[in-house]
Structure 1
Amino acid sequence: MISSVRTESTGTDRRRWQALSVCLVAAFMTLLDISIVNVALPSIREGLHASEGALQWTLSGYALAFGLVLVPAGRLGDARSRRAVFMTGLALFTLASALAGAAPAMWWLIAARLLQGVAGGVLNPQVAGLIQQLFQGAERGRAFGALGATIGVATAVGPMLGGALISLAGTEHGWRWIFFVNIPVGLVALPLAWRLLPAPVRGERLALDPVGVVLLGAGVVTAMLPFLQERQWQGLAKWLLIPVAAVVLAGFVAWERRHPAPLADLGLFRRRSYALGAAIALLYFAGFTAIFFIFTLYLQNGLGYSAFYAGLAVTPFAVGSGVAAAIGGRLVSRFGRPLVALGLVLVAAGLVAVWIAVEVNPGRGVAWVTALPLLVVGVGSGLVIAPNQTITLSEVPYTQGGSAAGVLQTGQRMGTAAGVAAVGAVFFATLAGTRGDWAAAFRHGLVVILGLVLAALATALADLVAGRRRARPSGPSGTGGTGGTAREPTARPPA
């Protein structure tokens, strides 16, 4: 009898980790398409005779659509079925990838990229929600560690994979294969998702909030659009959308406070773990994602690197991030927010070392002299993303896991848009002012990135100080910020 119980438990554990693997493959695919297209832009311009504005929309359209649906999709998964919503997003993403790869004209590609963004935004909140549902305690930290590794690696290796595919398939049509490679992955993952992901629990179906969806969508679009179109939309008129966004989002908050079944539980922000964790994520994503944007420009346009070798130059970051995220996921239940603070210190130190390396050797050997500093930045990043997400969601009931993750990821996407715009503005202003000194432009951009990382570090340290003040003398205080173990929801989620 004991043997049969152990066998059943082992089988359940294996099934949960297999389900996580399916989720991570799909998440990797959607996150990869944020960065992989960057190196394909010259190939797309040649193949489809695209304008600069049209090329920008292949990037910003995806990011805008992605951020637009995160919270509603997370809420829909919580209220109905995470498996069904996940599979819908995966099927749409696979279809959109086929449409993008087959695009005969630029308008077709932009439309396909918008559909891809919607699909990615539908899929991704379900991953965090399913982790909340399937795992508890230290295992949840390990699962989020695997997700953090996926985020870091997908962001960093996108340029390299894109460059490799374009090199193999040729400049004229190589860009199509960065979309076509998603098709077999999606077709294999769909039946596995149906078999391995948990079916919805029968019970009361939570009400939806269509008015909240419209208000939040309008607020997100008006807030992100000026940043995503910062270089293409000339003049200052675009920045008038920011106060408009503030008014719309204030209306969303007022509506949600009165709604009996809100789209997003804003009461979560009264929990220090969630509020400060969301702030850290916003600031950190504003900084770290901009590194690859300006580094790729520096290497390709400034130093003449090919797309493949420019992508290869950021491999040390990907390696460090992947390994450290897996380790950080195992350690977060023991050390809590101090682990995040340590990661931010390493990122800041690595960025300073990158700055010095480029100052000393700004020529074609820059990829070699920045390899070790980028490895340090990657290690630090791995200790930030996964542990911070674990802590931020630690006090969220699993029934709200998707919507809470959607709010968190929306903040990350908005931070990314604002960070890339701010860093890009400094980068291109320096480039114009120095008449083409790419190394100086890159170093000035790094200063802005370092400032954002230090702001995230200050937030983490504020959390630690507040946690120590509120800690009880008789025992550890939990992941609110002092380094204790993650606090579990009161109801155990169904496996």
Structure 2
Amino acid sequence: MPEKERFDAAGRRVLLVCVAGGFTTLIDQSVLNTSIPALRGTLHAQPAHLQWIVAGYSLAFGLALIPGGRLGDVKGRKWFFVIGLALFTLVSLVSATATDPTVLIAARLLQGAGAGLVNSQMIGTLQDVFDGQLRARALGMYAVTGSLAFALGPPIGGLVLAAAGPELGWRITFLLNVPFGLATLALAVRHLPRPRPAARHADLDLLGLLLVGALTLALMLPFVRPPGLAGRLAFAAAVLALLGALIGWQRRYARTGGHPLIHPALTRSAPYALGTAIAMAQFGFSLAASLVLTMFLQDGLGLSPMGAALVSLPSALAMATASGLAWRVVQRLGRRTVTVGMTGSALAMLLSGIVAQWAPAVVLPWLLALLQLLGGASVGLMGSTNQAYVLRHAPAEAAGVSGAILQMAQRIAAAVAVSALSGVYLRETAGGGGHRSAYLTAGLVCAAVAGLAVLASVFAGRVSGRDRTPEKPDETVTVSPGRTSVR
């Protein structure tokens, strides 16, 4: 076995800045989920407001990734990192002091754009600074940081709300971003490498960005503001038209020598496309299910924010533990690790809805906590594993943008899933269906999407097997905290 490479002092400082920036921007949304019921009461927010407050962040985050990465290639990454983090930190103050839901929606969109700009620079910086094994380990640490931020958010939010009360507590959850953001800004200015532009001219595919944004809005709006039958048909037609326009434009843009938003080589790689679809299903509906669970526990069962956070805590612990053991499972199961994890996630979502409908109230929080344990372990097992396999199958000519495309797809999925699932839940409770039946419906929707992802994972494994040739021997994907490598 080759000797394990070690980061030098300069590399450790760069890695510290990137991990700190990732944690600060990625924990924001998971902390906010716990605060949604308190925020709704203080601002008198309507269901549509809540959906945009949560989903708008993911939407703006995803749409900022690709142009942010391209700008970093052209002008250098350091100052775009600083600008994005400064915007995120400043707007956190606006969010914390908002007195109107529309102001908070606008602030969340700006926060998401700043976070997307930051994270696109981090991916590029890690690829610029590190090579080989060190690059794989650095990207693995970044992936695990995102998982831990997602898992630790609800307990942190619950503690803040328990200590400060609902009206002040949700504002403090936004203020938490400020000291972390300022500290990371100071580290970034001092330790990030000087700008080293790698491209001669900008090629942002602005029309591609506009088409992707319009397509995402056409997917989201029917869930935020449900239309009648004629409206649904109109939105469906708009989605098909925009999708056709996007595909046609991407092909034309590539033929003219430009660099399209979605590289044609990525769409031609079936394992990459299927793995990205699996990641979208897992990330989008995990985030949406966490939000709906929080609303159900606080509004439906009357638990305090701290009580709701304790129900979610087993998911965080299981996710961290499973992430640490995933590499051992990969050694035994290989690509099937993703299928096993996605199957566990589907079962956890399905059983959560069933027990919420029929279990006695006195034992229901305990049963949901147990199922959170299963769900968290499943996500920890397959999250970074699937990422490693997706990037393994990215064509060489698109290696530089494959990670950004994957993140963008996940964030758009999160925006659509949060809008859809929270809309389903809020409409059913407003219509007199009751919190239990609404949560059952949400659980069935999540389980159905996860089930489709399981089928996609099985098919991806078969396609990956057909892709292997004698000239390209099988590769081993290793995933562990701080290590994601392909050999």
TM class by shorter-chain length? 0.7 to 0.9
Contact 1:75 1:403 in 2 (8 A): no
Query: Matched residues in 2 for 1:138 and 1:201: separation?
Result: 22
Residue 119 of structure 1 and its aligned partner are, at CA, apart by 0.4
Give 1:179's aligned amino acid: F
Indicate which of 108, 111, 135 corresponds to 1:113. 108
Which residue of 1 is the match for residue 82 of structure 2?
A: 87
Residue 450 of structure 1 and its aligned partner are, at CA, apart by 1.6
Which residue of 1 is the match for residue 352 of structure 2?
A: 354
Query: Which digits, 9 at most, give the CA deviation of each residue in 1:282-336, with x for residues without a partner?
Result: 2222332222122112211111112222122111111111232244368768965
Give 1:112's aligned amino acid: A
Which residue of 1 is the match for residue 481 of structure 2?
A: none
The answer to whether the aligner puts 1:216 opposite 2:214 as a matched pair is no
Give 1:445's aligned amino acid: A
Q: SS of the residue aligned with 1:304?
A: coil
Q: SS of the residue aligned with 2:186?
A: helix
1:153-302 mapped onto 2 (5 Å cutoff): 153-201=148-196, 205-210=199-204, 212-227=205-220, 230-236=223-229, 237=231, 239-240=235-236, 241-264=238-261, 265-302=263-300
Q: Which moved more, 1:41-50 or 1:255-264?
A: 41-50
Contact 2:319 2:376 in 1 (8 A): yes
Residue 187 of structure 1 and its aligned partner are, at CA, apart by 1.0
Residue 388 of structure 1 and its aligned partner are, at CA, apart by 1.6
Contact 1:149 1:326 in 2 (8 A): no
Query: Matched residues in 2 for 1:143 and 1:331: separation?
Result: 21
Residue 431 of structure 1 and its aligned partner are, at CA, apart by 4.6
Residue 436 of structure 1 and its aligned partner are, at CA, apart by 3.8
The alpha-carbon distance between structure 1 residues 59 and 371, as it changes in their structure 2 partners (threshold 3 A), is closer
1:57-68 mapped onto 2 (5 Å cutoff): 57-68=52-63
Give 2:335's aligned amino acid: R
The alpha-carbon distance between structure 1 residues 363 and 392, as it changes in their structure 2 partners (threshold 3 A), is same
Q: Which moved more, 1:375-384 or 1:142-151?
A: 142-151
The answer to whether the aligner puts 1:448 opposite 2:445 as a matched pair is yes
Q: SS of the residue aligned with 1:172?
A: helix
Q: SS of the residue aligned with 1:150?
A: helix
The alpha-carbon distance between structure 1 residues 477 and 110, as it changes in their structure 2 partners (threshold 3 A), is same
Q: SS of the residue aligned with 2:172?
A: helix
Contact 2:37 2:298 in 1 (8 A): no
Give 1:464's aligned amino acid: G
Indicate which of 124, 138, 152 corresponds to 2:119. 124
Contact 1:37 1:178 in 2 (8 A): yes
Gaps of 5+ in 2: 479-483
1:478-489 mapped onto 2 (5 Å cutoff): 478=475
Query: Which digits, 9 at most, give the CA deviation of each residue in 1:338-363, with x for residues without a partner?
Result: 33223223323433553554456241
Identity of aligned residues (%): 34
Indicate which of 23, 48, 67 corresponds to 1:72. 67
Which residue of 1 is the match for residue 22 of structure 2?
A: 27
Q: SS of the residue aligned with 2:223?
A: coil
The alpha-carbon distance between structure 1 residues 441 and 389, as it changes in their structure 2 partners (threshold 3 A), is same
Gaps of 5+ in 1: 1-5, 489-495
Which residue of 1 is the match for residue 374 of structure 2?
A: 376
Contact 1:167 1:308 in 2 (8 A): yes
Which residue of 2 is the match for residue 492 of structure 1?
A: none
Q: SS of the residue aligned with 2:337?
A: helix
Which residue of 1 is the match for residue 307 of structure 2?
A: 309
The alpha-carbon distance between structure 1 residues 313 and 134, as it changes in their structure 2 partners (threshold 3 A), is farther
Contact 1:336 1:391 in 2 (8 A): no
The answer to whether the aligner puts 1:101 opposite 2:96 as a matched pair is yes
Query: Matched residues in 1 for 2:87 and 2:400: separation?
Result: 19
Indicate which of 428, 443, 460 corresponds to 2:457. 460
Give 2:283's aligned amino acid: F
Query: Which digits, 9 at most, give the CA deviation of each residue in 1:390-409, with x for residues without a partner?
Result: 22223558996663222212
The alpha-carbon distance between structure 1 residues 445 and 89, as it changes in their structure 2 partners (threshold 3 A), is same
Query: Matched residues in 1 for 2:430 and 2:101: separation?
Result: 29
Residue 381 of structure 1 and its aligned partner are, at CA, apart by 0.5
Query: Matched residues in 1 for 2:439 and 2:37: separation?
Result: 21
Query: Matched residues in 2 for 1:58 and 1:321: separation?
Result: 26
Residue 79 of structure 1 and its aligned partner are, at CA, apart by 3.5
Query: Matched residues in 2 for 1:153 and 1:362: separation?
Result: 32
Give 2:157's aligned amino acid: G
Q: TM-score, normalised by structure 1?
A: 0.83
The alpha-carbon distance between structure 1 residues 225 and 120, as it changes in their structure 2 partners (threshold 3 A), is farther
Query: Matched residues in 1 for 2:405 and 2:119: separation?
Result: 12
Query: Matched residues in 1 for 2:140 and 2:75: separation?
Result: 27
Query: Matched residues in 2 for 1:174 and 1:158: separation?
Result: 14
Residue 90 of structure 1 and its aligned partner are, at CA, apart by 1.2
The answer to whether the aligner puts 1:38 opposite 2:62 as a matched pair is no
Query: Matched residues in 1 for 2:186 and 2:353: separation?
Result: 47
The alpha-carbon distance between structure 1 residues 431 and 146, as it changes in their structure 2 partners (threshold 3 A), is same
Query: Matched residues in 2 for 1:188 and 1:332: separation?
Result: 37
Q: SS of the residue aligned with 2:123?
A: helix
1:6-25 mapped onto 2 (5 Å cutoff): 10=6, 12=8, 15-25=10-20
Query: Matched residues in 2 for 1:487 and 1:10: separation?
Result: 18
Indicate which of 298, 317, 336 corresponds to 1:319. 317
Give 1:217's aligned amino acid: L
Which residue of 1 is the match for residue 468 of structure 2?
A: 471
Residue 30 of structure 1 and its aligned partner are, at CA, apart by 1.9
Residue 194 of structure 1 and its aligned partner are, at CA, apart by 3.4
Query: Which digits, 9 at most, give the CA deviation of each residue in 1:60-84, with x for residues without a partner?
Result: 3323322222221122223432333
CA RMSD of aligned residues (A): 3.4
Q: Which moved more, 1:442-451 or 1:140-149?
A: 140-149
Which residue of 2 is the match for residue 3 of structure 1?
A: none
Number of paired residues?
A: 474
Query: Which digits, 9 at most, give the CA deviation of each residue in 1:378-435, with x for residues without a partner?
Result: 11101222122222223558996663222212211222233334444554565577x4
The alpha-carbon distance between structure 1 residues 400 and 158, as it changes in their structure 2 partners (threshold 3 A), is same
Q: Which moved more, 1:158-167 or 1:91-100?
A: 158-167
